[in-house]
């Protein structure tokens, strides 16, 4: 029996018809996914790192671990503000945000290269979030671009409505701002709502594009539990 990926979700209805590469989609990983909505985890609360969510995140992570999760991820990159707290509360790997890839990606850059971060709201992605992922943050090595103020952003924040066609249009505009900067050599997608558009971003950017799914797949691939039956055949 394969282990599970434990998915900490925003406190909103599960998408019953997810697109490929949406985190709710059952075929994203070699492991099946078990989900848990974090009580009170609204977009606004997570983006603002509301301390009232500390206990709900810990309790939800422990719930997932008890049900067989061997890796815990989340469907909001801003959850990185709670990453250390969650990691200290469970005994399995925790990777709540693609932002955790920043130190690794920095080592792939040329001397003057930068990482372009495509985010839901660049005005809310603070040093607190970035340093939670990258304690030795090099601000000169990153550039932010978000969809804040756009039509799709207003629909999500004001009406909790995800207009996917509009989100793609608005996020491609934000991506283009990054691509127009020749120093941006790698794109990192922070917002998990944008994961399903990564193939389009790769075509537009003509640069490597990383996201939460790529990160989770890397962790799964590195595990001896990642392939059914593999662990039974490993010689010690």
Q: Residue 41: which CATH number?
A: 3.40.50.1860
CA distance 48 to 42: 10
The answer to which of 5-9, 43-47, 169-173, 190-194 has the lowest mean pLDDT is 43-47
CA distance 14 to 33: 13
Do residues 41 and 66 both lie within one domain? yes
Do residues 72 and 123 both lie within one domain? no
CA distance 59 to 162: 28
Do residues 22 and 45 both lie within one domain? yes
pLDDT of residue 105: 97
Banded pLDDT at 24 (limits 50, 70, 90): confident
pTM of the model: 0.92
pLDDT of residue 2: 72
Strands 33-37 and 69-74: unpaired
Do residues 57 and 108 both lie within one domain? no
Do residues 85 and 162 both lie within one domain? no
Q: Is the pLDDT of residue 229 over 90?
A: no
Banded pLDDT at 147 (limits 50, 70, 90): very high
Banded pLDDT at 1 (limits 50, 70, 90): low
Q: Is the pLDDT of residue 234 over 60?
A: no
pLDDT of residue 63: 97
Q: Which domain holds residue 190?
A: 99-211
Beta-ladder partners of 74: 8
**pLDDT single digits (tens) 27-42:** 899 899 999 999 999 9
Banded pLDDT at 98 (limits 50, 70, 90): very high
Average pLDDT over residues 152-157: 91
Kindly state the greatest CA–CA separation across the chain.
56
pLDDT of residue 21: 85
Do residues 112 and 189 both lie within one domain? yes
């Amino acid at each position: 029996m394969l282990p599970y990926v434990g998915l900490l979700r925003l406190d909103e209805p599960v998408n019953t018809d997810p697109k490929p590469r949406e985190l709710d989609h059952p075929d994203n990983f070699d492991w099946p996914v078990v989900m848990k909505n974090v009580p009170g985890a609204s977009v606004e609360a997570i983006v603002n790192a509301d301390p009232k969510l500390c206990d709900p995140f810990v309790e939800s992570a422990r719930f997932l671990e008890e049900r067989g999760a061997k890796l815990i991820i989340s469907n909001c990159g801003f959850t990185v503000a709670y990453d250390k707290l969650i990691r200290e509360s469970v005994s399995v790997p925790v990777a709540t945000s693609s932002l955790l890839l920043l130190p690794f990606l920095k080592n792939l850059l040329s001397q003057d290269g930068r990482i372009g971060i495509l985010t839901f709201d660049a005005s809310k992605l603070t040093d607190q979030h970035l340093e939670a992922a990258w304690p030795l943050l090099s601000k000169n090595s990153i550039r932010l671009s978000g969809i804040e103020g756009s039509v799709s952003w207003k629909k999500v924040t004001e009406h909790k409505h995800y207009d996917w066609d509009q989100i793609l249009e608005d996020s491609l505009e934000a991506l283009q701002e990054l691509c127009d900067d020749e120093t941006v050599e790698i794109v990192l997608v922070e917002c998990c709502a944008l994961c399903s558009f990564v193939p389009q971003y790769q075509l537009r950017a003509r640069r490597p594009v990383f996201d939460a799914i790529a990160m989770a797949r890397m962790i799964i691939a590195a595990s001896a539990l990642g392939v059914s039956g593999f662990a039974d055949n490993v010689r010690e």
